[in-house]
Structure 1
Amino acid sequence: MAKVKRKICVLIPAYKENEVVLESSKAALQHVYSGEFDICVIADGLEPETITTLQQQGAGVIEVNFERSTKGKALLTALDILPSSEYDIAVVLDVDNIMGKNFLEEVNNAFDSGYKVVQAHRTAKNMETSFAFLDACNEEINNHIYRKGHFAVGLSSALIGSGMAFDYTYFKKLLSGIGETVGEDKELDFRIAKDQVKICYLNDVYVYDEKIENAQVFTQQRTRWIASQLEFLKKYAGEGVVQLFKGNLEFFNKVVQAFLVPRMLLIGTLGLFFLLSIVVPFGPPVSFWAALLVMLSASLFVALPGKFYQDKRLWEAIVRIPYAVFCMCLALLRVNKTKASFLPTPHKAKEVSTQVNN
């Protein structure tokens, strides 16, 4: 049990998500924490009626208006407006996120142990469609490898964009000059690694996140992710080598991750070469590509939680993988669209169970 009950500010950037933000802010306000906490919605393009309702619910509202909206700029603006001495911890949620039971208590406990940055276990709150189930599987694989796995061997957990908590003063420093990047979480990852501050991962502390339910939104979201990966690969590849020679293995590890081909594209590429090897008489044999596909598949299945194997939707999702690979190829071709917009992911308002956040 933590000796100090830190005051927490829960920040919810909301870009034109009028229905969803009303549901998520209401759930956040009902969250149980033995210390003090405030909910602050960063309203970007919300209707006046929505803002009034949020305030009536008890949430704080900071209105922002940018020529080109990004989550990083919205967060920095909010921190510039909020009094720095008022809070100890800043928690960042996406507009569709719901905090799980004891979320804030466990975050406070982690800070009591000396951590300055914490990443909780983000998991699916919806898996009704094949795409949503596939997206949920992908999230859990990433959790197992890049968060739980890294933290288990003494490295920092990777940030995921929400369900994150920061020392309030340090967070404001991290956001300074964040610019218009479409991948603010990756930029924070690199800045934290450069500072050699360890990111704690709370595997048993959940924040529930809406998963992508259709191909169009999947493609849009992955377009933003690929653009972000390319941006930071270009920006930090050289510095990764410099930091390695300085002994900063954490930073170099982040750069290596930026070189990794997105999982769906890798599956598609290996599958294509496997098929080509059957008909093309030169190059590596069929067995070579088959072995790579089997090893990749085995590593992904090992990282998938056991509960997913008990659900028949897993096999329906697997059948959708070729279509998901096609969507990833489209996303790759549309990367330049992020120059005009940060391509926000649209969400749907969903009924929230009171058991989730109490």
Structure 2
Amino acid sequence: MFVIDLFFDIVLYSLGIFLLLNCCYLLFFSLAGHKKVKPLQELLKKDRRFCILIPAYQENEVILETSKAALNHQYAGTFDVFVIADGLLPETIATLQNTGVGVIEVAFEKSTKGKALAAALNALPENTYDIAAILDVDNIMGADFLQEVNKAFGAGYKVVQAHRTAKNLDSTFAFLDACNEEINNHIYRKGHFAVGMSSALIGSGMAFGFTYLKELLNNIGETVGEDKELDFRIAKNQDKICYLDKVYVYDEKIENAKVFTQQRTRWIAAQLEFMKKYAGEGVTQFLKFGNYEFFNKVAQAFLVPRMLLIGVLGLLFLASLVLPFGPAPAFWGVLLLLLGAALFIALPGRFYKNPKLWKAFIQVPYAIFCMAKALFQVNKAKKSFLSTPHKVKAVSTEVHV
């Protein structure tokens, strides 16, 4: 009996230390996100040439609205809009071409965003563009997006991530998803950039030096998390990713649990992929080259997704009330408080004024269940491209930036 108790003590205390590190990591960067960042110093002022790349996988309706909005964007320099058409209807392609959008058609046995972007860059002429900006099929650029990205490149950055924010808050799940993205923005982008580290990429609303992106996408493979792979490659090169907190790209938020689960399945699959792929190299990069950015990216891959973390800590707290081994209930209670503090500090103040916040809290247990379900479906993401379906939506008047 003593041996059994000792075994479970070791397991639960080890788990407790791991989850404590999770909570402390989130809290540190949540607090850091409130640190003021010095304005960028534009060293080389010129209007760089942009190509805007919009991968579109079987999204015939939304892409027409997105590309039209992109064409109407105001920028002092020159830019072209290209849709990477994967499975679009012939009439959609013809309509796009008639409006002045460049169309690059691609077809793969297994579609991925990374392969589509690599194919598009190889199809475009050399030395025509300075910067490649990437949008998702549902994204709308906010005012001065290209102008501000251009300034960041003038300050010496080779990679820029803008502030992706909600286009719609028309359901409780969409509001919950919007809260989640803003917390991510605060912790993984604003918080990291504020302490002199790289922002994390988010998959869209990002821009790269044209030739640099071609290099980064070389042999990208069939990963379901091309943005995370780019994160690791940039960190290995020890290049800094700039975060523009006041420069917005509007993104459609998930409206229902089914789509939420599908999207999170893809995200968890990507996280597990990079945890296995780069764990050993993260230690080597840190000890041999002092590359703390790469090590930090690996550390992020080991963090428990926040919804699951809430659920796990809640279960462990309840279990500790009856189990005779492991940390006391107070320990798990403190971890829940640390996690709650990190999330509440990271959430922008405007969300607290919205009455939908309290309805979103009620959806949290269901979201935790969806995350648990997604965890057991990760093999689906490896076998097929789990794209997120979109609808045509205007930017909501509730979205205040």
Q: TM-score, normalised by structure 2?
A: 0.87
Instruction: Indicate if the aligned counterparts of 2:168 and 2:394 stay in contact, CA closer than 8 A.
Output: no
Q: Distance in 1 between matches of 2:343 and 2:116?
A: 35
Q: TM-score, normalised by structure 1?
A: 0.97
Q: Distance in 2 between matches of 1:190 and 1:280?
A: 41
Q: 1:226 aligns with which of 252, 268, 291?
A: 268
Matched letter for residue 139 of structure 2: N
SS of corresponding position for 1:14: strand
SS of corresponding position for 2:221: coil
Deviation at 1:279, TM superposition (A): 3.2
Q: Which residue of 2 aligns with 1:117?
A: 159
| 2:174 matches 1:132 | yes
Q: Which residue of 1 aligns with 2:73?
A: 31
Residue-by-residue CA offset, 1:86-116 (whole Å, 9 max, x unaligned): 1000000000000000000000011011110
| Count of matched residue positions in the alignment of Structure 1 and Structure 2 | 355
Q: Which residue of 1 aligns with 2:350?
A: 307
Q: Which residue of 1 aligns with 2:204?
A: 162
Q: Which residue of 2 aligns with 1:328?
A: 371
Residue-by-residue CA offset, 1:260-305 (whole Å, 9 max, x unaligned): 0100010000011112223334432222211111110111000000
Q: Which residue of 2 aligns with 1:64?
A: 106
Q: Which residue of 1 aligns with 2:223?
A: 181
Q: 1:250 aligns with which of 280, 293, 304?
A: 293
Instruction: Indicate if the aligned counterparts of 1:31 and 1:99 stay in contact, CA closer than 8 A.
Output: yes
SS of corresponding position for 2:245: strand
Q: 1:151 aligns with which of 189, 193, 197?
A: 193
Alignment of 1:1-358 (within 5 A): 3-245=45-287, 246-351=289-394
- Superposition CA RMSD, Å: 1.4
Q: Distance in 2 between matches of 1:340 and 1:34?
A: 44
Q: Which of 290-299 and 113-122 deviates more? A: 290-299
Q: Percent identity?
A: 73
Matched letter for residue 243 of structure 1: Q
Q: Distance in 1 between matches of 2:345 and 2:126?
A: 44
Matched letter for residue 175 of structure 1: L
Matched letter for residue 359 of structure 2: E
* Runs (4+) off by over 6 Å: none
Q: Distance in 2 between matches of 1:244 and 1:340?
A: 33
Matched letter for residue 273 of structure 1: L
Q: Distance in 2 between matches of 1:84 and 1:212?
A: 37
Deviation at 1:213, TM superposition (A): 0.6
SS of corresponding position for 1:350: coil
Q: Relative to structure 1, is the Cα distance of residues 179 and 151 closer, same or farther in structure 2, using a 3 angstrom cutoff? A: same
Instruction: Indicate if the aligned counterparts of 1:40 and 1:60 stay in contact, CA closer than 8 A.
Output: yes
Q: Which runs of 5+ in 2 are unaligned?
A: 1-41
Instruction: Indicate if the aligned counterparts of 1:23 and 1:352 stay in contact, CA closer than 8 A.
Output: no
Larger radius of gyration: 2
Matched letter for residue 116 of structure 1: K
Residue-by-residue CA offset, 1:20-51 (whole Å, 9 max, x unaligned): 00010010001000100000000000000100
Instruction: Indicate if the aligned counterparts of 1:219 and 1:328 stay in contact, CA closer than 8 A.
Output: yes
Instruction: Indicate if the aligned counterparts of 2:167 and 2:393 stay in contact, CA closer than 8 A.
Output: no
Q: Which runs of 5+ in 1 are unaligned?
A: none
SS of corresponding position for 2:61: helix
